[in-house]
Amino acid sequence: MEANFWHRKWADNEIGFHASEANPLLVKYFSELSLAENSRVFVPLCGKTLDIGWLLANGYRAVGAELSRLAIEQLFEELGVEPAIAQIGNTLHFSAEAIDIFVGDIFDLSADTLGKVDAIYDRAALVALPEEMRKRYSEHLLEITHGAPQLLITFEYDQSLQPGPPFSISNAEVERHYGDHYQLTLAESQDVPGGLKGKCAAMENAWLLRRS
């Protein structure tokens, strides 16, 4: 998945993946991670998701990583916040009270640059990457967050019927990426209303990944 693919999506406003409300599975299950108030939550490949606003409104601090500067400019505009912007290595750091977003390639983001993370909310990262990148991504995520607990949202469907993204992630693949590092709990598996992009039946799965 080339960077230009995502830059083009944002430039052309082809962002059907951008939800118009906070994800219901986030709202329903995030408290299961039992985080203290003011905990810092990492949202990889965050776009301008309304989930960040939900995290902030519920007393968490948010830190994100995103390839598209346009998406993050829109995120801060929609939050009504003026960010400070600084260059850190190969990434741009957009920051304001309780929020830090790193714009650039997530693989350029180090643990030192990211800072302490108390939990991960992955709704749009693992499912956005093709199979050949997902192992690298999951290993990098574990490294830069020191294995912080996760709420992970995935889709499962017949990949031959519909090209990703979002890509289909089987339960076995979640186990492959994370089973050695976490206690895995499939909190909920629900039908995607109308099918994935209206084209094929799919399940949306909410996983709780707690430290073993």
Q: Rounded to an integer, what distance in angstroms lies between the CA atom of residue 173 and that of residue 187?
A: 16
Q: Is 207 annotated in some ligand binding site?
A: no
Q: Is 143 annotated in some ligand binding site?
A: no
Q: Rounded to an integer, what distance in angstroms lies between the CA atom of residue 124 and that of residue 46?
A: 7
Cis peptide before 163 (omega within 30 of 0): no
Q: Counting every residue, how long is the chain?
A: 212
Sheet holding 150-157, edge to edge: 84-88, 91-96, 99-103, 61-66, 40-44, 119-122, 150-157, 202-211, 182-191
CA atoms within a 13 Å half-sphere pointing along the CA-CB vector of 160? 0
Tokens at residue 83, please? 């960010």
Q: Is 6 annotated in some ligand binding site?
A: no
List residues bridging with 126 in a β-sheet. Answer: none
Q: Rounded to an integer, what distance in angstroms lies between the CA atom of residue 153 and that of residue 42?
A: 14
Q: Is 77 annotated in some ligand binding site?
A: no
Q: Which residues are annotated as a binding site for S-adenosyl-L-methionine?
A: 10, 45, 66, 123
Q: Which residues are annotated as a binding site?
A: 10, 45, 66, 123
